[in-house]
Structure 1
Amino acid sequence: MAAPSMGSALWRSLRAYQVYGANTDVGKTVMSTILCKAMMRRFPDEKTWYIKPVSTGPQAEADDRHVARFSESSTHCLFQFDQPIPPDSSILQKILSQLSSYALTGRGTAFLETAGGVHSPTPSGTSQADFYRPLRLPVVLVADHRLGGISSSISAFESLHVRGYDIDFVLLFRDSRYQNDDYLSKYFQEHGISTLSLPSPPARRFHGQEDEEAMVEYYDRVTKLDEVGEMISMSEARHEARVKSLESMSSRAYKHIWYPFTQHRDISPSSIMTVDSAHGDFFQTYRPDGLNPTAPPSKSSNLTRPTFDGSASWWTQGLGHANPKLSLSAAYAAGRYGHVMFPGGIHEPALSLAELLLHTLNNPRLQRVFYSDNGSSGMEIAIKMGLRAAASRYGWDDERNGKEVEILGLKGSYHGDTLGAMDCSEPSAFNQKVQWYRGRGFWFDYPRVKMVKGIWVVQPPEGMEGELGSEATFASLREVFDIESRKKGNNDAYYRKYITNTLVKLIKDEGRRFGALVIEPVVLGAGGMMLVDPLFQHTLVQVIRSAHCLFSPSPLPSLPPHTWTGLPIVADEVFTGLYRLGRPTSSSFLAIHPDISVHAKLLTGGLVPLCATVASESVFESFLGKEKSDALLHGHSYTAHAVGCKVAETAVKMMVGMEKKGAWEGFKKDWLDVPPHTSSTGPGIWSHWSRAFVNDLSYAENVEGVIAIGSILAISLHDRTGAGYTSTAANTLRETLFNRSGADWNVHSRVLGNVLYLMASQTSKMETLRSIEGAVRGALL
């Protein structure tokens, strides 16, 4: 199976460089010829190659012919501009294959020369700076020695730098008129980049023979210069240093890094994944021989390989690694603001993002946006908001009455690792050895949804059939989420009675006090990727909102529209929000409007940390008072960080734009375009993962159940031990996907006990995901 993504290019035996120009006509081909000839002079027993991916001029004047004539190196022009040009991915694959063939012949050096300037378009119209980025070759930048060249050279450098290129050298011609070389040498030295200015080539002669003789003499003279020899030696040292750094990183990390969610007794230097770069949906990971992690090191194998980011980098990656639009947004905000103190002030990124979020979430209850650094902190804030609002309305005074205020939630939920958020979850492996954990709440059990042997099943917890009703089956996921139709059936009555009776027992009989309902809409993330019956969550919210008499003996006063009732409803959409499930909000699947919702993860497309806790005006008013202590005294040094807000604004606009332009129509069609004799899955309920694939997995012998919605795929494997989060049932599948024998790409994934999950990004290509599905099929079916 072909690789679904380009790998970066790094070999022990091959030093490979990309030659970029700060502008057109700055002498890239002349510099490439000097580099090739100097390499051959420095390493006479090695090969030197030159690649021109796409030639834009007539063949008689082709750059590769010039380089071949004057350097005697081996040259290749892959495509002529006036001929049919294949897709971008095919061009990159051809380049990588060409470089790989060089590495197989023995030790040597290759130079890949681009066309025009850094942002000159490729045949498809893509900027070269973005087009060649997956290769991540070290760059030799040919600066502009002409009038205006300082500006174009620095601009070219910044364009490459912000995209993650490493610029090894800057070359340019000397010019006594403008002396750009002197200024640029000082500029690039400040950035740690070596700069070399060389004599200009002779003026073109009238007679071809004279011109050729002059160029032969020029190249022979320049390549003998000591500074050129020093640059060549330095390039060799840098190549070796890069390889050695990658080789040693896992051992150094093993000594000094303390990893999250990791039992360090279970890891070793060989088990630590070294990431050289990332682009799109893929990491570029280091392996000693580039393919087989158990084989001895090979000089001819690519030292990096594509690794599908199957956890979306802990659920944050939505718009592809190294997305240039997000990088430029970050750079813009950093250049305009850096970071500025937020209380009592405002800046454009924070205000624009707040207004954009309120519009995108389309929840008439929500009016106020509170910024923090991450999802766990955002949930801490939401909990403070909800508890204060309830205490204010119901007149609770904890110091006088001595009653603790708790929360209501769902079993298996998890809202973050800060202490307050942790206390909103029931005891589990996450918190059982945290000395300050108290677990202040009650957590409802609930029916779970999964596909089993081709049928969508809503299954109550074992032993709770009498309270929650018997197992129900559905022909489609749309039917499961058709809340209005399902409310006419028996399940709604069972759920309503179970929730109401439980609340009466807790509040009236046991005298417990609750200040908020906290839920993860639709899918519980860290708790095991469990798909909760949407009807149960809908009913839970409705019962809570109508149960004022349980929380207060006083009659419910007349309240303005969109004011919370019963208890404030907090929706933890840190994981499931902002198009994770295919919609702007996951609460919309439940036909509810929460009073507080929390958004992070996809908020910035995975580039920088940021969280927004969005609240109703009625919740906000609970913090208005005469004293400072009445305010919400919570904040972070980087609250409303301008860089994060600007990146988030860009990311949300991109996702909204993708939806409007039909970017996911191909995925939707697979789930919605079903034969007339079967039940339609309906609009809005679809997955990036193919319907046939999910169906087939549900029949696998060791698969207990499968869920797929939006970008989430979760495979629950049979585990008779009942170990839960500490189960190792899914480890073998994870290792199989990561160490695929004979494959030139692999899949990085994480497990939650007996559940292996895979996460697409919102920009994942269909062919990539279908390739991943093939790997999973091979491992399970």
Structure 2
Amino acid sequence: MAPVHPLLWSSLRVFQVYGANTDVGKTIIATLLCRAANNIWKKEQTSYLKPVSTGPEDEADDRCTHIERYAPGVLRKTLLQYDLAMSPHAAAKGKLVPSDKELLSKIYQFASRSAAQQPGWLFIETAGGVHSPGPTGTTQADLYAAVRCPVVLIADSKLGGISLTISAFESLKLRGYDVESILIFQDSEYDNEKYLRNYFTASHGIPVASLPKPPPRAQDKDADARAMLQYYKNESQSSGIRNILEYLNQRHQARIERLESMPKDAYKRIWYPFTQHTSLSPEKIVAIDSARGDFFQTVVPKAERTVNQHIPVLQPSFDGSASWWTQGLGHGNPSLTMAAAYAGGRYGHVMFAGAVHEPALALADTLLCGMKNPRLTRVFYSDNGSTGVEVAVKMSLRASRLRYGWDANTDIGIIGLKGGYHGDTMGAMDCAEPSTYNENIEWYNGRGIWFDYPSVKCSRGQWIVETPDDLKADLGGNKTFTSLSDVFDIDSRESNDEQKAYEQYIERRLSHYVSKGRKFGALLIEPVVIGAGGMALVDPLYQRALVSVVRRSAKLFGSCPEPDTSDPTSWTGLPIIFDEVFTGLYRLGRFTASSFLKTEADISVHAKLLTGGFVPLSTTLASESIFHVFESEDKADALLHGHSYTAHPIGCQVAVESLRQMQAMEKKGEWDWAKSSDWSGRLVGQPDAMKPEVWSIWPWDLLYWISNQTDLIAGAWALGSVLAIHMNAADGLGYKSNAALKLQGSLLEGDRTTVWNIHSRVLGNVLYLMGGQKTSKDDITEIASMVKHALTAH
């Protein structure tokens, strides 16, 4: 099944009719709108859709009653009809209930057929109030948010209606709906109309229009029908209803014009990150109308729609980079939205130095508990991963300098891995080796040494730990493994002494640099996966060996008193920093990527998935022994680092909710479908229960197939929510390579028959895709099919 499609066509004006409550006149007003539109736009087709209706079948809106009787000529349809006159989720019990996605697909199919026939209008009437549940129990506000139709909200004119209407409006706005107009029946007794007009027009710029009430229900059915018919005749021809429709028509046209003009306007005004603007044109800029779940809603190029008038303006685009690795719980996640709104309403922002608020304390507790690292006891807040790394480096360099007795002016470097990249602020940039990212930065001064490493790829269906050619004499040749679980089986590999060659090589190289007078203050690595440096899966045994050698080599790095061995959580050798900004918090399937290495950091940095892709926030977790280094009678010895928005309550509250959701998903086994034996990566037999749990949402048969396209593919790997495809590159490996651009373009072109595509990013010769922690198996199956198609056509 294709992804959920937004409902926007140039030729079809689609509006969703929501009610502030039940019995506010949604059907009557929808009928008025349909009848008036049909009369005014005589050459067009007006349609009416009721996705879910409850009550006796002979009262279904597409069978006889209102629309059929009072708005002749209107194309009408009810998708789901349940006999019992109660909430759809209750009425549907015991019946065959379509999934939310299936229901949304049916709505799209109806709308698409309407758009293909001739220009016109489509009014979609909801059931009950804004939060009345749909058949599966999902409230309508959440159920229909993915299609993001502009809304006509029917206000409640009765006692209590002001509160209900404002609450309904706020619920819709929190979910990203555009409420275009508010309609209400005139009622002199309560005069809700006057208050709501002042409230919405003045505060929100939303027009409020009142309509005369329909005639009281007559006891005689024929008389009642005649009275209603006369009502509809009169009101459908009134200037009031005409003005409403003209306004909605203008809003529809303005929305499309704005979407179409955005790339051109952006090209003139915006300076994009990581973009060479000489190769950019407006046609290459993707206009995103909204996002929901794992998908953007992006504008289909106008040239395509000019050729085929029935193609929608918007299409679903799979967010293949997880919005630069931040997205995990789905765009527009209502729980995260509510967490942000709650903290915003409770606090806004409050300064943090010397103070505390509940979200910051709760987040610190949640992180420290989730890490299960006895070394980590303190949480320092900053605003993004790059500054989080700078904080970590400041901590470690101070700790090392004081322990080894170095002068404050001593040039202290860090130890890292080639390709490791930790952010774009100056301090974090200096922790990376010279590369395309920093070679033209005037203040760049790489401060460290960077080890090359063995990497892991699947090639021709086999898992290979590939040793760089210039290290084979020291580390041995490539090694082949039956499964990825075997690669990560640290205990078994160490029992076979596989780590010894690694450790001996690392110790020799460190001794060489120290003998040249180099001084180091930290080991800084991205556990398991090097991200921006090329999406490389590093042999976990190598990283563990690196940590082990650094920790046990205190005498190598300088003269210092013997460490206090009574405290096993105190750092030794050099502080170990794990940059888990990308790899942590379930991106690779576990709360912490360090667990793959079976070792623990002295300092750990977290961001991106921390807030589920909602707002910027970073945390630097540190040990007590690192913390005590900064204690002094002199304030200048404190960690003098901070941001105006340090530990901002909105970010902290969202992060608490984000972590709560992901931990609950893990506990409930919501990723069990991806952990099943059909992904294990084993060529034969079943996964060994004693092997480490290593899994991916990307199916093994996809990875196996990709790895056998050897004319195109140098290797691939999948872990957690990440799939990395390393292309063969005639122009050389690295960020400057163009080898992956053709595949990226094919995915962006997408499936033109069902009008959806994949928005992805490349790192030179590497194209990577990421799902979220809520990505469904069905969506992955669809995306996998498109990836195969794109590679086949390459």
1:515 paired with 2:521, answer: yes
1:771 paired with 2:776, answer: no
SS of residue matched to 1:103: helix
* Equivalent in 642, 652, 673 of residue 649 of structure 2: 642
- For 2:679, the equivalent position in structure 1 comes to 671
* Equivalent in 439, 444, 461 of residue 432 of structure 1: 439
1:318 paired with 2:361, answer: no
* Equivalent in 521, 540, 543 of residue 546 of structure 2: 540
Seen in structure 2, the aligned counterparts of structure 1 residues 161 and 553 have a Cα distance that, compared at 3 Å, is same
Seen in structure 2, the aligned counterparts of structure 1 residues 557 and 88 have a Cα distance that, compared at 3 Å, is closer
Q: Structure 1 residue 776: deviation in Å?
A: 1.4
Amino acid at match of 2:536: M
Seen in structure 2, the aligned counterparts of structure 1 residues 142 and 396 have a Cα distance that, compared at 3 Å, is same
- For 2:708, the equivalent position in structure 1 comes to 699
Seen in structure 2, the aligned counterparts of structure 1 residues 676 and 531 have a Cα distance that, compared at 3 Å, is closer
Q: Structure 1 residue 388: deviation in Å?
A: 0.9
Contact 1:391 1:515 in 2 (8 A): yes
Q: Structure 1 residue 398: deviation in Å?
A: 2.8
Contact 1:42 1:232 in 2 (8 A): no
Contact 2:327 2:772 in 1 (8 A): yes
Amino acid at match of 1:278: A
RMSD of equivalent CA atoms: 1.5
Q: Structure 1 residue 302: deviation in Å?
A: 1.0
Once superposed, which parts of structure 1, at least 4 consecutive aligned residues long, lie more than 6 Å away? 673-676
Contact 1:27 1:142 in 2 (8 A): yes
- For 2:80, the equivalent position in structure 1 comes to 79
Seen in structure 2, the aligned counterparts of structure 1 residues 490 and 459 have a Cα distance that, compared at 3 Å, is farther
1:136 paired with 2:148, answer: yes
- For 2:26, the equivalent position in structure 1 comes to 28
1:724 paired with 2:734, answer: yes
Contact 1:469 1:491 in 2 (8 A): no
1:43 paired with 2:41, answer: yes
Contact 2:18 2:125 in 1 (8 A): yes
SS of residue matched to 1:151: helix
| Farther off after superposition, 156-165 or 53-62 | 53-62
- For 1:758, the equivalent position in structure 2 comes to 769
1:450 paired with 2:480, answer: no
Contact 2:524 2:577 in 1 (8 A): yes
Contact 2:489 2:692 in 1 (8 A): no
* Unaligned residue ranges in structure 1 (runs of 5+): none
Q: Deviations over 1:169-208 (max 9, x none)?
A: 1011111111111111111112111101111111100111
- For 2:67, the equivalent position in structure 1 comes to 67
Q: Deviations over 1:476-512 (max 9, x none)?
A: 11111111111133531111111111111111x2011
- For 2:269, the equivalent position in structure 1 comes to 256
Q: Deviations over 1:209-230 (max 9, x none)?
A: 1111111121222223322221
Q: Structure 1 residue 393: deviation in Å?
A: 1.4
Contact 2:56 2:82 in 1 (8 A): no
- For 1:19, the equivalent position in structure 2 comes to 17
Seen in structure 2, the aligned counterparts of structure 1 residues 735 and 81 have a Cα distance that, compared at 3 Å, is same
1:188 paired with 2:195, answer: no
Contact 2:405 2:560 in 1 (8 A): no
Structure 1 Cα separation of the partners of residues 737 and 251 of structure 2: 45
Structure 2 Cα separation of the partners of residues 416 and 392 of structure 1: 26
- For 1:377, the equivalent position in structure 2 comes to 387
- For 1:474, the equivalent position in structure 2 comes to 481
Structure 2 Cα separation of the partners of residues 774 and 554 of structure 1: 59
Structure 1 Cα separation of the partners of residues 258 and 680 of structure 2: 49
Structure 2 Cα separation of the partners of residues 720 and 543 of structure 1: 37
* 1:489-568 pair list within 5 angstroms: 489-507=496-514, 509-559=515-565, 560-568=567-575
Amino acid at match of 1:557: P
1:106 paired with 2:115, answer: no
Q: Deviations over 1:284-333 (max 9, x none)?
A: 110146xxx65635432211111111100000000011111111111111
- For 2:185, the equivalent position in structure 1 comes to 173
- For 1:96, the equivalent position in structure 2 comes to 108
Contact 2:421 2:532 in 1 (8 A): yes
* Unaligned residue ranges in structure 2 (runs of 5+): 84-94
1:415 paired with 2:428, answer: no
Q: Structure 1 residue 15: deviation in Å?
A: 0.5
Structure 2 Cα separation of the partners of residues 772 and 321 of structure 1: 18
Structure 2 Cα separation of the partners of residues 343 and 33 of structure 1: 59
Structure 1 Cα separation of the partners of residues 456 and 75 of structure 2: 61
Q: Deviations over 1:38-71 (max 9, x none)?
A: 2123222222111111111223333343122112
- For 1:572, the equivalent position in structure 2 comes to 579
Q: Structure 1 residue 675: deviation in Å?
A: 8.4
Amino acid at match of 1:644: G
Q: Deviations over 1:123-148 (max 9, x none)?
A: 11110001111111100000111111
Structure 2 Cα separation of the partners of residues 147 and 162 of structure 1: 25
Structure 1 Cα separation of the partners of residues 531 and 8 of structure 2: 37
* 1:597-676 pair list within 5 angstroms: 597-669=604-676, 670-672=678-680
**Percent of matched pairs sharing the same residue:** 52
Structure 2 Cα separation of the partners of residues 677 and 557 of structure 1: 48
* Equivalent in 718, 721, 725 of residue 708 of structure 1: 718
Q: Structure 1 residue 30: deviation in Å?
A: 0.7
* Equivalent in 687, 699, 703 of residue 690 of structure 1: 699
Q: Deviations over 1:438-473 (max 9, x none)?
A: 000000111111111111111111121111122111
- For 2:89, the equivalent position in structure 1 comes to none
Amino acid at match of 1:513: K
Contact 2:563 2:572 in 1 (8 A): no
Q: Structure 1 residue 673: deviation in Å?
A: 9.5
Seen in structure 2, the aligned counterparts of structure 1 residues 266 and 414 have a Cα distance that, compared at 3 Å, is same
Contact 1:674 1:680 in 2 (8 A): no
Structure 2 Cα separation of the partners of residues 241 and 406 of structure 1: 56
Q: Structure 1 residue 231: deviation in Å?
A: 1.3
Q: Deviations over 1:77-98 (max 9, x none)?
A: 1121246442222211111111
1:745 paired with 2:746, answer: no
Amino acid at match of 2:291: A
Q: Structure 1 residue 74: deviation in Å?
A: 2.2
1:362 paired with 2:372, answer: yes
Amino acid at match of 1:155: S
Structure 2 Cα separation of the partners of residues 687 and 337 of structure 1: 39
Structure 1 Cα separation of the partners of residues 480 and 620 of structure 2: 36
Structure 1 Cα separation of the partners of residues 361 and 326 of structure 2: 23
1:346 paired with 2:359, answer: no
SS of residue matched to 1:63: coil
Contact 1:476 1:680 in 2 (8 A): no
